[in-house]
Amino acid sequence: MEERRRDFLESLLTTPGPSGYEADSQRVWVDYVSEFADEVRTDDYGNAVATLRGDDTSVALAGHGDEIGFIVRDLTDDGFVRLERIGGSDKTVSRGQHVTVHTADGPVSGVVGQTAIHLREGEEESVPEIAEQHVDVGAEDGEELESLVDRGDPVTFAQTVSELENGRLAARGMDNRVGIWAAAEGLRRAAERDVDATVHAVSTVQEEVGLQGAKMVGFDLDPDAVVAVDVTHATDSPDSPGDRSSGVELGGGPVVSRGSANHPVVVESLRETGADEEIDVQLQATGIRTGTDADAFYTARGGIPAVSVGLPNRYMHTPVEVIDPADLDALADLLAGFAVRATEDAPFSVDV
């Protein structure tokens, strides 16, 4: 991956943006796409759209810019923070972690408390709910804590980006900073290829709490087709349940979903793009729902042809999500290729 592109990815991964608090990370994305887009705009909730102006055919490459996290629910009299979840945060990985409380006056460091193994009884090994866990910021009492932290402040894991063997990367928030990276890069690479269609790159807000940003953008933008770019489960690690195996592997290339929300004509366009441009594409079955912004886009304005395209990701919704940058580069190329052939493949409609 080129140095400039890697720097952009690391900036996204190290800038907190839990659902409802995405402004800082959205600003990183907007600054990057402003270098090559014809127009960049944001709405009242912070959804961001970068556009290359072309002919009447329009497609959108959309990732969600928010991440899971926590929120300060309450402050105790003895100086501890009580938490609630933002999105699908996992209670089994939160205790014993370093966290940052993002306050109006700046970041406050803390740790999620975990009773020492020496003090726990055997019957106490069940994992408490997030609402029963607490953050210790070092405050002496509730009065000091209230001078530092407010109820409603967002909280994220204090996690860095780590490079593993074979160039693979581990970090929190791969879900879905890699998606908005790919959408931005797909737009940039489409611009380099003098794309004919109008192409929108989108970074939505609040996907993790109900696909809310996509509902707003889908209504407002009304493209001819949309590719919702997200992560998907790589089920090639030892802890993946056998009955949930999908055949998706890290390093196997981007993943095109089939079934439910995924429009068959858009699916075929992406598969043909992969074949023509020699990009390895994996397939995934989604018989009921995709669990991505595609589920909101495809019913907007009476129906927008949509598809979910995923990046293989291990250990989703933990602080140590793992991806292969080779998959990510291939995903950006696939999106650019799809945009380039959009005018030829439109209209995206089922022949009945």
Residues in binding site: 64, 175, 208, 230, 317
Integer angstrom CA distances of residue 200 from 57, 73, 118, 191, 292: 11, 37, 56, 11, 18
Q: Which of 22, 67, 185, 207 is catalytic?
A: 207
Contact by Cβ (8 Å): 48, 95: no
Q: Cα(130)–Cα(108) distance, rounded to whole angstroms?
A: 19
Measured in whole angstroms, how far is the alpha carbon of residue 311 from the centre of its chain? Answer: 10
Asked if 207 is an active-site residue, the reply is yes
Virtual torsion, Cα 92, 164, 154, 201, nearest 10 deg: -120
Burial of 143 (0-12, 13-18, 19+ CB in 10 A): exposed
Q: Which amino acid is at 294?
A: A
Q: Which amino acid is at 55?
A: D
Contact by Cβ (8 Å): 317, 173: no
Binding-site residue set for Zn(2+): 64, 175, 208, 230, 317
Which of 308, 347, 325, 328 lies closest to 62 in space, CA to CA?
308
Burial of 275 (0-12, 13-18, 19+ CB in 10 A): exposed
Q: CA angle 284-285-288, nearest 5°?
A: 140
Which of 61, 58, 22 lies closest to 42 in space, CA to CA?
22
Which alpha helices (H) appear in 210-258, and where do they start and end? 212-221
Contact by Cβ (8 Å): 68, 58: no
Q: Cα(20)–Cα(212) distance, rounded to whole angstroms?
A: 10
Q: Cα(235)–Cα(232) distance, rounded to whole angstroms?
A: 9
For residue 83, give both structure tokens.
Answer: 């938490």
Residues assigned a catalytic role: 207
